[in-house]
Structure formats: structure tokens, C-alpha cells
């Protein structure tokens, strides 16, 4: 079972690494990081380089496709190399998925026509112009169309646990959760706009504006 | 504020990327990935390469040090290049921290003498031989000794949110949580040994034995 995780310039690392970590130990799973060409790809701040081991040309029929987000995603909404690859691999994938603003890329590829989808909280309105129907949810599953979208950044972990269950079985997926010791105990409860409140939202927006 | 995240062969990616993602947007934060030498370092399964931008020699006085875990950690418990670097940087760091089996490395460096510490659930007993006192907790803080240890893998996100609060203030830390949309909604509740139950623990142990 090949799981392809897309990298592009100025992606958000946790969008990619959350699902990678959740799925990497599934029996038979091979994870491949893929981009326009082989080599290092940098996150939005430049602090972290991750290696794409394959180019799009070299990954022809992955079983699962995961498109992360990040401010860089906005630069790829007309990138035909990436969009055409997504259209092609989606024709045979078991699941084509996104985390965070990766949903904008799926939508730009025409994979979310008139479909409910979720994305990063600050980008929900951008989905409309790309033909999808923005939905405030942690996860939106269209199992019949083999499309799953997750909300921002850390939501990729929750999505991947659900994918693990579908791809194997509930007990195996639970074992993945245990192996990651994913028993969340955040010290605060500010993980959504509603919970964070206006003051924290304003701080986040200001930081996001400068740092992406 | 320089935050140094250690990489070593066969580390666990989320141990490093969880805190990276949580802390990277803190005002004034510079994250640097550091290892024995500059260059690519691979995770335990080889699926993912991440770049160390600096060698230990090039990072002399980071404000925060984060040591991830992974099965590879067991190979570095007598690695004097790493252990000596940790001893040196801890003398001036604001916090020296670990995620998962990274605690074994801190203990091997002599930084946890007789101190309570947490680590990956499957490795708790290994802390004793290294002079620490294993504690089943998501997070163990010794703020006076400037040491914080986190449990396995995903616990690094919770730890980093707490560090963000100490390093800045509560509202800024909450903004980091919102930016990561860290509003966990795992589809199962199997993130600890107690919650997972014996059948899932056995599956996890079997997978962990073969895949690390």
C-alpha cells in the first residue's frame, strides 16, 4: 500500500508529518514524499527542509494521496504539473485527501465540485470560489467519491486515524493511536475560533499575517 | 530566541515536528535543526528525510533544546558527541526538554539525576537504569532545573504549548494552539495503555517490535 504525501514550497510541516506518523506503521504501508522534483522542500518559514524522494512522474498509482497545506498552497492553485498529477492519481487512488489549505489545491484540481469540504479556519471562504462548499468540521468524508478533507494542521492526525481504520480495521487503527501516544492533553482549550475567543483570534490573525 | 531541535538517525518525526510546529511562530523564535553534522537525517523507517542545518559545533547557546525520541535513541545513550553537547548547552539554556524516548538521552547525559521524568510508555522502565525516576505522566516539569520531559510522540505538542506559555504568555500560547487548529477529535480513545486495553496494547507491541 503506497501512501504519497505531496510536498511543495512553503508547506506546513505538521500537515504532512501528522498523517505520515499515523500511517507509517500500518502493515504493508510504504510512505513516499513526492514533489515536482526530487530533493529538499522547505516549510513556510524556511526553518525545516524535508526530502521529496520521488518526483510526480515517478509516482503513478498511489493507494492514498495526502495533500498538506501551508501558505505556499496559495501559489499552486494554477500549477498544472501538480493539478494534473492529482487528477491522474485520483482516478485510481483509494483515497485522495487534504489537510488544512491542501483542500484548496484539491478544489483547484476540480476534485471537489459542489462537494462539502473543510480546510483551515482562516481559508474557509476561499473554497467557494474553487467550486467546493466550505464546511466548518474537523473532517469531511466522501467515501463514495474517495475524498476526505481535514481542517487545519493538527487535524491531519485525526483524519489519518480514521483512514487507518478504513484501510485496515478498528483495532489496528487504535494501535496506531497508542503507538503515537495520542492521548491529547493540551494545557488550554483554544483550538478553534469559537473556543479561542476574539482576543486570541486577533493575536493569531496578526501572527499569521506576518509569518504565514 | 533560538530553539534547537536535535536530529539523529532513526528518530521519530512527529516528536520533532510537533514542538517545531507549535513554537515556530512564537514572536522572535528561530528554530534550528541540529545534528552531529549538517545534512539529511532519516526517520526510523527511512521514509522521511529531514535536514539538519547546523552541526552541534555551530549551535553553542540555544535558549531551548528539544530532544526527540525514536528507536534510534537507544543507539545514542553512549554517544559522547551528543551527550557532551547536551551537557554544555543545558548550562545556559532556558529549557532543556525531551519528547518520547528522548528522555533516555537526557538521562544518559546525566541531566535527570534522581529526577522524576516521563518517556514513551514502552520505555518507562529504561529510565531507572539511567538514574531518573520514571513517572507515568503526559508532562513532567522541573522548572527550577529548567528540564521538561514529555511522554510519547504526540505529547510533544502539549509540551510545546506549555513552553510557549512560559516563554511568552498565555494568550500568545493560545494563539499558537489556534493557528495549529489543535482541537483534538481523535475517532477513538486508545491513546494510553489504560485506555487502549490489552488487545490493542498487544497489537501495538507486535508492530512496534518489527517497525520500531
Task: List chain A residues with CB under 8 Å of B177.
Answer: 186, 188, 190-191, 196
Task: List chain B residues with CB under 8 Å of A14.
Answer: 17-18, 20-21, 180
Residue B54, number of CB atoms within 10 A of its CB: 15
Distances (CA, A) of A115 to A126, A134, A149, A151: 14, 8, 11, 15
Phi-psi region of A85 (alpha: psi -120 to 50; beta: other; left: phi over 0): alpha
Residue contact A174–B200, C-beta within 8 A:
yes
CA distance B139 to B175: 21
- Candidate list B71, B83, B86, B100, residue with the active-site label: B100
Task: List chain A residues with CB under 8 Å of B171.
Answer: 199-200, 203
**Closest in B49, B152, B184 to A51, CB measured:** B49
In sequence order, the 6+-apart residues with CB closer than 8 A to the CB of B5 are B16, B19, B20, B31, B32, B33, B34, B66, B68
The dihedral through the CA atoms of A122, A128, A129, A130 has a sign that is positive
pTM for the whole thing?
A: 0.97
The whole-number pLDDT of residue A211 equals: 77
The 3-state DSSP class for residue A185 equals coil
Closest CA to B192 of A164, A172, A179: A179
CA distance B167 to B94: 9
Q: Give Cα B104 to chain centroid, integer Å.
A: 10
Classify domain A2-183 by CATH architecture.
3-Layer(aba) Sandwich (3.40)
C-alpha cell at A93: 487512488
| CA closest to A166 among chain B residues | B187
Å between A32 CA and nearest CA of chain B: 6
Task: List chain A residues with CB under 8 Å of B185.
Answer: 138-139, 155, 158
**Closest in B185, B192, B211 to A183, CB measured:** B192
CB pairs under 8 A between A and B: 240
Which residue of A161, A164, A186, A211 to mutate against B (max B Cβ within 10 Å)? A186
Residue contact B171–A199, C-beta within 8 A:
yes
The dihedral through the CA atoms of B176, B181, B185, B189 has a sign that is negative
The whole-number pLDDT of residue B134 equals: 97
The whole-number pLDDT of residue A171 equals: 97
Å between B152 CA and nearest CA of chain A: 5
Condensed to tens digits (0 to 9), the pLDDT of residues B69-103 reads: 999 999 999 999 999 999 999 999 999 999 999 99
The whole-number pLDDT of residue B205 equals: 92
CA distance B205 to B5: 28
Å between B17 CA and nearest CA of chain A: 6
C-alpha cell at A150: 481535514
The 3-state DSSP class for residue A169 equals coil
C-alpha cell at B58: 555551530
C-alpha cell at A31: 510512505
| CA closest to A165 among chain B residues | B187
> Can B100 be counted among the known catalytic residues?
yes
Condensed to tens digits (0 to 9), the pLDDT of residues B44-68 reads: 999 999 999 999 999 999 999 999 9
Residue B60, number of CB atoms within 10 A of its CB: 12
CA distance A200 to A188: 12
Cβ atoms A174, B200 nearer than 8 A: yes
Mark the ranges of chain B whose per-residue pLDDT is less than 70: none
- Candidate list A31, A100, A124, A176, residue with the active-site label: A100
Calculated CA dihedral for residues B95, B100, B106, B107, nearest 10 degrees: 130
CA distance A198 to A171: 40
Residue contact A183–B199, C-beta within 8 A:
no
Å between B145 CA and nearest CA of chain A: 21
The whole-number pLDDT of residue A2 equals: 98
Task: Tell me whether residue B70 is exposed, middle or buried, using C-beta atoms within 10 angstroms of its C-beta: 0 to 12, 13 to 18, 19 or more.
Answer: buried
Q: What ipTM score was computed for the predicted complex, to two decimals?
A: 0.96
pLDDT in tens, chain A (212 residues): 999 999 999 999 999 999 999 999 999 999 999 999 999 999 999 999 999 999 999 999 999 999 999 999 999 999 999 999 999 999 999 999 999 999 999 999 999 999 999 999 989 999 999 999 999 999 999 999 999 999 999 999 999 999 999 999 999 999 999 999 999 999 999 999 999 999 999 999 999 888 77
In the block, cell 493507494 appears at: A63
Q: What is the DSSP string of chain B?
A: -EEEEE--TTB-HHHHHHHHHHHTTSTT-EEEEEESSSEEEEBTTSS-EEEE-EEGGG----SEEEE--SGGGGGGTT-HHHHHHHHHHHTT-SEEEEETTHHHHHHHTT-STT-EE---GGGTTHHHHTT-EE---SEEEETTTTEEEE-STTHHHHHHHHHHHHHS-HHHHHHHHHHTT-----SS--SSHHHHHHHHHHHHHHHHHHH-
Residue contact B181–A162, C-beta within 8 A:
no
**Closest in A21, A179, A186 to B161, CB measured:** A186
Q: Give Cα B146 to chain centroid, integer Å.
A: 14
Q: Strand A39-42: give its sheet, edge to edge.
A: A39-42, A49-52, B49-52, B39-42
Helical (H) or strand (E) element with A50: strand A49-52
Amino acid at each position: 500500500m503506497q501512501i504519497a504525501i505531496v510536498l511543495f514550497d512553503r508547506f506546513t510541516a505538521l500537515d504532512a508529518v501528522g498523517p505520515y506518523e499515523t500511517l507509517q506503521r500500518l502493515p504493508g504501508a510504504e510512505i513516499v514524499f513526492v514533489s515536482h522534483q526530487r530533493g529538499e522542500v522547505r516549510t513556510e518559514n524556511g526553518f525545516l527542509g524535508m526530502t521529496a524522494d520521488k518526483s510526480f512522474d515517478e509516482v503513478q498509482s498511489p493507494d492514498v494521496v495526502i495533500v498538506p497545506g501551508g501558505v505556499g498552497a496559495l501559489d499552486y492553485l494554477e500549477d498544472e504539473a501538480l493539478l494534473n498529477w492529482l487528477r491522474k492519481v485520483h482516478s485510481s487512488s483509494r483515497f485522495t485527501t487534504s489537510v488544512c489549505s491542501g483542500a484548496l489545491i484539491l478544489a483547484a484540481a476540480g476534485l471537489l465540485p459542489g462537494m462539502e469540504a473543510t480546510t483551515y479556519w482562516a481559508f474557509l471562504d476561499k473554497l467557494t470560489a474553487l467550486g467546493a462548499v466550505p464546511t466548518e468540521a474537523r473532517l469531511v468524508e466522501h467515501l463514495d467519491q474517495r475524498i476526505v478533507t481535514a481542517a487545519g494542521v493538527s487535524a491531519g492526525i485525526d483524519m489519518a486515524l480514521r483512514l487507518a481504520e478504513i484501510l485496515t480495521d478498528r483495532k489496528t487503527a487504535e494501535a496506531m493511536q497508542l503507538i503515537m501516544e495520542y492521548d491529547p492533553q493540551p494545557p488550554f482549550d483554544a483550538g478553534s475560533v469559537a473556543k479561542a475567543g476574539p482576543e486570541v483570534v486577533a493575536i493569531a490573525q496578526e501572527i499569521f499575517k506576518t509569518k504565514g
